[in-house]
Amino acid sequence: MLLELNNVGKSFGGITALRDVTFGVAEGEIVGLIGPNGAGKTTIFNMVTGIFEPSNGHISFAGQPLAGIPPHKITARGIARTFQNIRLFGHLSALENVKVGCHTWTRAGFWASLLKTRRQREEERAVEQKASELLAFVGLSDVADLRADTLPYGQQRRLEIARALATQPKLLLLDEPAAGMIESETKELMELVRKIRDNGTTVLLVEHDMGLVMNLCDKVVCINFGVKIAEGTPDEVQNHPDVIEAYLGKEEEAC
Amino acid sequence: MDLFNPYNLQVITFIVLNGILAISIYITLATGQLSLGHAGFMSIGAYVASILTKQADVPLIFALLLGGLIAGVIALLIGAPTLKLHGLYLAIATLGFGEVVRVIFLNMEITNGALGITGLKSIGSTLYDWLKVTGLTGDSFGLSVLQMKAVLTLLFLLLLFGLVLFLTLRLHRSRIGRAFEAIKADETAAKAMGLPVAYYKMLAFIIGAVLAGFCGGLFAHITTTITPDDFNYHKVVEILSFAVIGGSEIVWGPLFGAFILTTLPEVLRVLAEYKMIMYGAIMVLVMAFRPHGLIGTDTFAKLFDRRRKQAARQAEEGM
Ligand SMILES: Nc1ncnc2c1ncn2[C@@H]1O[C@H](COP(=O)(O)OP(=O)(O)O)[C@@H](O)[C@H]1O
Ligand SMILES: [Mg+2]
């Protein structure tokens, strides 16, 4: 397993947000994490990326425990993410946003940057090229020089993916990547996620769009009120009675 | 010629000096840190450099560099506990630091307490001595000794300012500058992109302190006299105002702020007793109409880059 959660729990103050969650993500898979709002999906992402420490249990990545490792080092180990409520560097251009993501595999420090050493210049060229390639990959070449916060919503979501890919992750966490997208954009997004997986990056995604989850994922994990209630193939999870009651049922009521 | 009046030359020299100070506050703000410690670091640089030149006969340039360096070391020490603080908490902590430094200098023997250090050899005199070695004097340029010293000081400051600005712009366009910008925009997202946020905040804090300390040494050797009160909270507010009035999004903002705020009192001098009223009114008006400062990223976009804006609009409409 590339990513393993073992009996992971998290409480905020007295409130238990997650309890005894155990599941794994195998290399090369696209895994869906579903559950109603407030179920604890984003909290799982925050613990995997080191923003929160789990209150119980442990998480390991590529066989190594992640306990006590700060977020930036977890990213350097190969876990990148996007955010449910888009968190781009708004005043930077799309290209600059992706360049920031290249930080983990570049080295130029303070003095090299001041002196503009040959290695620094070569590295900057490599960064420029990599960032342009990634923008092309997510279909944003045309808007490379525009401020990130001026981009329409769907483009911002794809830009966040490009920025995360710039860290050269082994595992990519996508938090509701299709939220706010129109149908054609969601279709493009599914193609994009498949391409990312085919290029060798494992994907764990949180999504409410059931069509997307059922179409795209090799495996689905469903949590409700912080507890895992089902895990299996999309079909198995979709037809699980607890899931229907907890999640799909509610969804229909809401409609 | 009026321009070569030593007084006017000194005003211009102070504009340039405040320009370097503006860069110092800009760099700390570039990582989103509101530090009010710049006057404190400035005083450390000023006292260190002054004691070195006056009591140990250390050559001016080394004394200035050491002043900056020691301010940087102090920044490293106080940064460790304080940089975990955010926003106003950091502002208060660094303001407190500045006060502590001031009171220490007020009570130390080597700094001569409230009377301060006087009779420093000015930058102008030092440079003029060097010039005389080459056989040139003020007469060679048709200037009096006083004028020549003022001109040399100004040229020296311009050279330093140019160098600092050049390096700042270089840094801005590098991996480090991108990291600063990313941290300013969103610390959590920056961490998620693999940036060691604490390290970069410390780096920016130290660069700001080194520059402020360096400016302190320069200030001391322009005025030739320093007292602890030169670096009290008035100075803190003055330095901060560069960024508030000028804007802090891009380096040109604080620079423009330093220019305006140093020039304005001179321009308003004709108003005599109404000077400070006008000064205050202008500040209030700027804040009312440009709350993020006079110069922002949009300023240059508007001036030079209409096409980019058009493209943005088209992209928006296209979706
Ligand atoms: N930083 C936090 N502090 C306190 N409570 C939190 C925090 N983050 C999440 N929670 C709580 O944890 C629960 C799960 O939230 P979240 O993981 O965001 O749900 P989801 O992403 O599945 O919609 C919610 O009840 C939420 O209020
Ligand atoms: Mg969520």
Q: Write the ipTM.
A: 0.92
Q: What is the mean pLDDT of chain B?
A: 89
**Cα separation, A232 vs A58, whole angstroms:** 22
Do B182 and A49 make contact, defined as CB atoms within 8 angstroms? no
Angle separating helix axes A118-137 and A94-101, nearest 10 degrees: 120
Record the tokens describing residue A221, joined without a space: 């994990």
Q: Answer yes or no: do A3 and A124 share one domain.
A: no
Please name the residues in contact with B189: beta carbons below 8 A apart, sequence gap of 6 or more.
Answer: A83, A87, A88, A89, B182
Asked if the structure places residue B217 within a domain, the reply is: yes
Residue of A nearest to B206 (CA): A110
Q: Answer yes or no: do A126 and A232 share one domain.
A: no
Record the tokens describing residue A246, joined without a space: 């907890």
> Which domain-ending residue is among A167, A190, A211?
A167
Do A147 and B193 make contact, defined as CB atoms within 8 angstroms? no
Percent of chain B, pLDDT > 70? Answer: 93
Asked if the structure places residue B278 within a domain, the reply is: no
Record the tokens describing residue B185, joined without a space: 């925009």
pLDDT value of position B301: 67
Each residue of A69-84: pLDDT tens digit? 999 999 999 999 999 9
Q: Answer yes or no: do A71 and A120 share one domain.
A: no
Nearest to B171 by CA among B156, B181, B184: B181
Do A103 and B249 make contact, defined as CB atoms within 8 angstroms? no
pLDDT value of position A255: 42
Each residue of A207-248: pLDDT tens digit? 999 899 999 999 999 999 999 999 999 999 988 888 888 765
Where b means 16+ CB within 10 Å and e means fewer, A79-92 reads: bbbbbeebbbbebb
pTM of the model: 0.91
Asked if the structure places residue B90 within a domain, the reply is: yes
Do A92 and B190 make contact, defined as CB atoms within 8 angstroms? no
Q: Where residue B133 falls among pLDDT bands split at 50, 70, 90?
A: confident
Q: Which residue among A42, A175, A250 is best mutated to probe the pocket of ligand 1, counting the most ligand atoms within 8 A of its Cβ? A: A42
Asked if the structure places residue B318 within a domain, the reply is: no
Among the partner residues A71, A83, A100, nearest to B182 by beta-carbon distance: A100
- Torsions phi, psi for A138 (to 5 deg): -95, 5
pLDDT value of position A254: 45
Q: Which residue among A8, A10, A11, A12 is best mutated to probe the pocket of ligand 1, counting the most ligand atoms within 8 A of its Cβ? A: A12
Q: Answer yes or no: do A139 and A221 share one domain.
A: no
pLDDT value of position A65: 95
**Cα separation, A244 vs B52, whole angstroms:** 78
- Does position B313 have pLDDT exceeding 80, yes or no? no
Greater model confidence, A70 or B269: A70
Residues with CB under 5 A from ligand 2 (ion): A 41-42, 84
pLDDT value of position B1: 47
What residues in A contact B185, CB-CB < 8 Å?
88-92
- Does position B158 have pLDDT exceeding 90, yes or no? yes
- Please name the helix (run of DSSP H) or strand (run of DSSP E) that holds residue A131, with its range, or none: helix A118-137
Q: Answer yes or no: do A150 and A181 share one domain.
A: no
Q: Answer yes or no: do A219 and A111 share one domain.
A: no
Q: Answer yes or no: do A182 and A74 share one domain.
A: yes
Tell me which residue has tokens 């205050």: B280
Report CA Rg, chain B.
Answer: 21
pLDDT value of position B319: 43
- Does position B144 have pLDDT exceeding 80, yes or no? yes
Asked if the structure places residue A14 within a domain, the reply is: yes
CA of B136 to the centre of ligand 2 (A): 74
The domain total for chain A is 2
Q: Answer yes or no: do A67 and A184 share one domain.
A: yes
Residues 161-200 of A with CB under 8 A from B: 163-164, 166-167
Each residue of B54-104: pLDDT tens digit? 999 999 999 999 999 999 999 999 998 888 888 889 999 999 999 899 999
Starting from the CA of residue A9, give the closest ligand.
1
Tell me which residue has tokens 């060798």: A200
Please tell me if residue A51 touches chain B, with a CB cutoff of 8 Å.
yes
Record the tokens describing residue B112, joined without a space: 């001569």
Q: Which amino acid is at A20?
A: D
Asked if the structure places residue A83 within a domain, the reply is: no
Asked if the structure places residue A87 within a domain, the reply is: no
> A155 near A142, Cβ under 8 Å?
no
Percent of chain A, pLDDT > 90? Answer: 89
pLDDT value of position B39: 94
Q: Answer yes or no: do A72 and A104 share one domain.
A: no
The pLDDT of B194-208, averaged and rounded, is 96
Asked if the structure places residue A29 within a domain, the reply is: yes
- Does position B19 have pLDDT exceeding 60, yes or no? yes
Strand partners, A80: A172
Asked if the structure places residue B140 within a domain, the reply is: yes
Asked if the structure places residue A85 within a domain, the reply is: no
The domain total for chain B is 1
**Cα separation, B175 vs A92, whole angstroms:** 14
Domain that holds residue A131: 92-167
- Please name the helix (run of DSSP H) or strand (run of DSSP E) that holds residue A132, with its range, or none: helix A118-137
- Does position A205 have pLDDT exceeding 90, yes or no? yes
Q: Where residue A147 falls among pLDDT bands split at 50, 70, 90?
A: very high
Please name the residues in contact with B60: beta carbons below 8 A apart, sequence gap of 6 or more.
Answer: B53, B121, B123, B126, B221
Domain that holds residue B178: 2-231
**Does ligand 1 have an atom closer than 6 angstroms to the CB of A37?**
yes
> Which domain-ending residue is among A132, A167, A202?
A167
Q: Answer yes or no: do A69 and A130 share one domain.
A: no
Q: Where residue B306 falls among pLDDT bands split at 50, 70, 90?
A: low
pLDDT value of position B315: 55
> B63 near B254, Cβ under 8 Å?
no
Nearest to A103 by CA among B189, B185, B29: B189
Q: Answer yes or no: do A30 and A145 share one domain.
A: no
**Cα separation, B74 vs B48, whole angstroms:** 12
Mapped onto helix, strand or coil, the DSSP state of residue A199 is: coil
pLDDT value of position B316: 55
pLDDT value of position B318: 46
- Does position B293 have pLDDT exceeding 70, yes or no? yes
Residues 138-177 of B with CB under 8 A from A: 167, 170-171, 174-177
- Does position B139 have pLDDT exceeding 80, yes or no? no
Asked if the structure places residue A84 within a domain, the reply is: no
Q: Answer yes or no: do A34 and A149 share one domain.
A: no
> Which domain-ending residue is among A146, A167, A188?
A167
Do B185 and A152 make contact, defined as CB atoms within 8 angstroms? no
Residues 199-228 of B with CB under 8 A from A: 203
Nearest to A173 by CA among A43, A70, A73: A43
Among the partner residues B170, B188, B193, nearest to A113 by beta-carbon distance: B170
